[in-house]
Amino acid sequence: MNATTLILAILNFQDASGYEIRKLATDGPYSYFVDIGYGSIYPTLAKLEAQKLVTSRAEQSQGKPERKVYSITETGRAEFIRSMMEPPAKDVFKSEFLLVAMAADFATPASVEKAIEERIETVEAKLAVIRQHLTDCDHPGSCWVAHYGEHVYRSSLEYLIANKQRLIEIAGDALPGALAAE
């Protein structure tokens, strides 16, 4: 899956400007699927428009500059559906927190505790966003995904809380005496 498929997915559900697509893809409900760089959105939209997969129209809002709003075409919807039939690539998960956890014996107890606390805050924030989305969720597939995400993050949070002390106790084992005491 790539920027093209993600943009078509967003436009399949709603018309949007390039800025709105970026917000939905980086901070919103579509941020969990594919990493999309801001610099790739407008070139991809231009390519999709040239291929007649999307159209655009200018919209004027009072007191604001004119903005270009994109809509998916029937050809674009067919392309999106075709791309949904392809097997997805393997998920990519990278976490700096997990590197800290793996090498906890080379860190101080205080730094490990801080990393765990920050991770807990991050997971709690993501849960809050997902739960908010569920309050007005009206699309069955979106609701399923939100419930799945809620389960994953809730399980992560439970594990972090239940095993926090265990990781803190590992911290400092490989450090020289002076560093371990910090």
70 domain-assigned:
yes
Closest residue by Cα to residue 160 from 107, 122, 132: 122
Q: What is the pTM of this model?
A: 0.80
What's the confidence (pLDDT) of residue 62? 82
- Residue 17 dihedral angles phi and psi, to the nearest 5°: -80, 170
pLDDT in tens, 138-181: 889 989 999 999 999 999 999 999 999 999 999 987 766 655 55
Are 120 and 171 found together in one domain?
A: yes
91 domain-assigned:
no
The SS3 call for residue 122 is helix
Q: Kindly state the tokens that stand for 87.
A: 């097997």
90 domain-assigned:
no
What's the confidence (pLDDT) of residue 175? 64
Are 172 and 106 found together in one domain?
A: yes
What is the domain range of residue 32? 3-84
Are 110 and 79 found together in one domain?
A: no
- Is residue 5 within 8 Å of residue 80, measured between CB atoms? yes
User: What is the C-alpha separation between 41 and 22, in angstroms, rounded?
Assistant: 7
Closest residue by Cα to residue 36 from 74, 6, 68, 64: 6
The residues pairing with 70 across neighbouring beta strands, listed in sequence order, are 16, 56
Looking only at the bridges linking them, the beta strands covering 16-17 and 54-59 are unpaired
pLDDT per 10-residue tile (average), the chain, 182 residues = 91 95 88 84 95 95 88 97 92 91 93 97 94 90 93 97 96 68 56
